[in-house]
Structure 1
Amino acid sequence: MQIYSTLTQPILIMVLKYGHKDQDVWKTLDDLFREKKDARSIELENELCSMVHSDRSIMEFCQKIHVKVDLLANIGSRVPEKTLVAYLLNILEPKFNNIATLICHRKPLSVFLQVRSMLALEE
């Protein structure tokens, strides 16, 4: 199995047992990484909520947000589009207050990529 060559020595020692079949190794790996999933999810959500726009461009800032959201999705904690837009609008600098208000009142609420584009134009 090729997975053995990609594992670090400590993890390999944990999952490699005499007589284990490939699916046993995969199950052990899955169990090992899932036990940390909830803690990682909380950590990523906290990072997402505490991000600050500061002097980054909107495109760069949105990319950083999207990386966190993708990491959350990878561990099974998908962030709904509406929540993602709310996170973004709530952490913007005051100079974006007018466009943020307009975005909040759109029906239906814009998706993240549309909001990113609108903010980039405003920038």
Structure 2
Amino acid sequence: MDAWTCLHDLFQDNEHSRAVTLEHEFSSTHMRDFPNVSAYCQRLKILADQLKNVGTPVSNSRLVLQLVAGLTDAYSGVGMLIRRSKPLPPFYQARSMLTLEEADFAKKVANEIDSAMFSSASDDATSYPDTKPQNHGDGNKHNTKNKNRNNNGHKVKYDGSFERHKARLVGDGAGQQVGIDCGDTFSPVVKPVTIRSMLSLSLSKAWPIH
């Protein structure tokens, strides 16, 4: 009888220790640690079920409130909507609201990327008209000069100042002479619209930015 009592007490101690560990993990679960809403919600539900198995059930209200508390700033709007609902919605309904919000974020990011690509294509088409390249016999191909280019091939305004510091040159590089075939040009590798699109995508996915 004493042996069974010892085993029972040992089992109770292990169960209590497990409950404490699960409680801590449940309370410290945040969306920023997961790739998407579904993975975040699934982890919370698994922890709630495990707490129930060790004799510490989690009510729907507490589960929903913990779900809202762990959201990232991008979901603060829908989180406030859920928190102000009276009564609080069931867990599955709150999860559906977050999933729809995530889908809206993805759609907005896709539209921004499409707009940025269209804007970039339009800008390139305006800056560099469709002209056939001419071969100057030195192995290099240059765009045909238009009436707004100076002697060095740079685009200029009517007052003679540079229109923009940008150039297009395709050649072998071996037979070029600075000042004749090419000049010093500076062009950014990434456009601001691309940076904004990537930041929006990172925000919607709650990705860390370094």
Same fold (TM over 0.5): yes
Runs of 4+ aligned residues of structure 1 deviating over 4 Å after TM superposition are 27-31
Task: State the percentage of identical aligned residues.
Answer: 34
Which residue identity lines up with residue 44 of structure 1 in the other structure? L
- Confirm or deny that 1:43 pairs with 2:21: yes
Structural RMSD (CA): 1.8
Q: TM-score, normalised by structure 1?
A: 0.72
Distance 2:62 2:70 in 1: 13
Which residue identity lines up with residue 71 of structure 1 in the other structure? Q
Structure 2 runs not aligned, ≥5 long: 103-210
Counterpart in the other structure of 1:73: 52
Distance 1:121 1:30 in 2: 47
TM superposition shift of 1:57: 1.1
Distance 1:70 1:29 in 2: 25
1:28-87 alpha-carbon deviations (Å, 9 max, x no partner): 765442221111111101001111212421111111111111110001100111011111
Distance 2:37 2:8 in 1: 37
Distance 2:82 2:53 in 1: 28
The residue correspondences of 1:1-123 to structure 2 (distance < 5 A) are 30-54=8-32, 55-123=34-102
Which residue identity lines up with residue 37 of structure 1 in the other structure? E
Q: TM-score, normalised by structure 2?
A: 0.44
In terms of fraction of residues, the more helix-rich structure is 1
Length, aligned pairs only: 99
Distance 1:119 1:37 in 2: 33
